[in-house]
Structures are given as C-alpha cells and as structure tokens.
Amino acid sequence: MITSSIVAVDGTAASGKGTLASRIAQHLNFAYLDTGILYRAVGYSVIKNGHKFDTQTAAIDAARELKIENLKNIDLRSEEIGRAASIAASIPLVRKTLIAFQKKFASAPPNEKLGAVLDGRDIGTVICPDADWKIYVDADICVRARRRVKELRERGVDAIYSRILRNMRERDTRDMSRSISPLAPAKDAFVLDTTFLDADSAFAIALDYISS
Ligand code: DC
C-alpha cells in the first residue's frame, strides 16, 4: 500500500505559514490544502445569509453543505470573514464536520500526488498527528499586524494598523483558548519564528528541516 507523505504547517494568522506551505508543496510536487479556507467559507456563508453566531445552527449547516468547488471565485480573505471563520472554528460540530475532508485530502491527495501539505491551526495535533514533518510558524504580533496591513493595502483595501492589531489579538486569543483543537504547537513540531525572516529565508530553513 502506498501511503502519502504529509507536511503539517500550523501557526498564527499572518505568520507566513500559508506562503511557506504552498512553496513547500510546489517544491516537493505535493498537493496543497489551505484549511483556513474551509472555516472562512463557513463564516462567509453565515454572514452572507444574514445569520448570526449566537445560535450555532447556521454555521453547522454551512459546514455540512460546504462544497469546495464553489469556493474558487469567492474572495474570502477579508478581516471580517477571518473573524467569522475564527468564531465558526470554535464550534465543535463545525470542526467535526470538516475533519473527514481534511483527513481524506492528506491520506489520498488529489491528482495522484505522492504527498500533501496542509496548513492550518490543528494539522499537526488533530488532523494529521502522524505527519512526517510538522512545522509551527509564529512571529511577533506587531510584525504580523504590519504584514497584514501591507497585504490589505496592496489589494487596495483601507487598513488601519491599530484596528488590525486589535483584531489579530482577539483572533489569537479565540483560536488558542477554544475548548476543541486549540491552536498550539504539536509536541514534535519544528518551531519557526519568522519575526526577522523574509519569505525566502523562512523557506530555506523549512527545507533544511524537511531534508534533515
Ligand atoms: O488561516 P486563516 O487565517 O485563513 O484561518 C481563519 C480562521 O480559521 C482562524 O482564525 C482559525 C480557523 N482555523 C482553524 O481553527 N483551524 C484550521 N485548521 C484552520 C483555520
């Protein structure tokens, strides 16, 4: 039986984990899944349909009805949707509903790829605890907030640093303190602090870890 090789990349918002994970996937010719998109799609669906999070039903239904192929043309990268995703991700039944898709992607990657790179918050701890490589990416929160402001401004979105920093702090706290699958490095993760690293340097260090 051929088993897929798995790289699990977890970490905080705007730590650089998404860029890193997709570069690793490209380099290794592995399939890539940004699992945050699944939670963002659930958050988007709740907001778009005018629902609220005070009852959990709308988010749970959205997770159950999620069709990955419907996500392609929707911009899910806004701060508002990031916040909604983080709230949706704290609902145990939402997480439970999304587990099977992620596990299947990891064990049987699409397009006959021999491996998969998944990035998120609980890949190394819950989705793929036996991953071949685990990387936990983090950076100082002020640096992350500055990166997010830059990214938003480059996309033509008005972004105020103090507000982005506040949102990020709120999101970190929620993601790290929820009752189910809280964001934390797996015990056997390689921790990569990107505070003083650009994308190329972070990639080089991650490749060293993978090849060692
Ligand atoms: O990585 P991101 O910013 O796109 O993720 C959006 C939110 O989704 C994040 O604040 C927490 C949640 N998330 C999660 O709980 N577990 C994952 N594996 C991925 C994302």
Rounded to the nearest angstrom, the distance between the alpha carbon of 82 and the centre of ligand 1 is 8
Q: Which residue puts its alpha carbon closest to atom 2 of ligand 1? A: 36
Structural domains of the chain, ranges and CATH numbers in brackets: 5-204 (3.40.50.300)
DSSP sequence for 106-131: HHS-GGG-SEEEEEESSIIIII-TT-
Helix then strand then coil, in percent of the chain rounded to 5, is 55, 15, 35
**Would you give per-residue pLDDT tens digits along the chain (212 residues)?**
457 899 999 999 999 999 999 999 999 999 999 999 999 999 999 998 888 777 799 999 999 999 888 778 788 989 999 999 999 999 999 999 999 999 999 999 999 999 999 999 999 999 999 999 999 999 999 999 999 999 999 999 999 999 999 999 999 999 999 999 999 999 999 999 999 999 999 999 999 999 98
Q: Which residue puts its alpha carbon closest to atom 5 of ligand 1? A: 36
Q: What integer pLDDT is reported at residue 1 of this predicted model? A: 47
Nearest C-alpha neighbor of 131 from the set 193, 207, 206, 188: 188
Q: Cα dist. 36→3, 9, 14, 212 in Å?
A: 24, 12, 12, 28
Phi, psi of 63 (to 5 degrees): -65, -40
> Residues with beta carbon inside 6 Å of ligand 1?
13, 35-36, 39-40, 82, 85-86, 89, 120-122, 171, 175
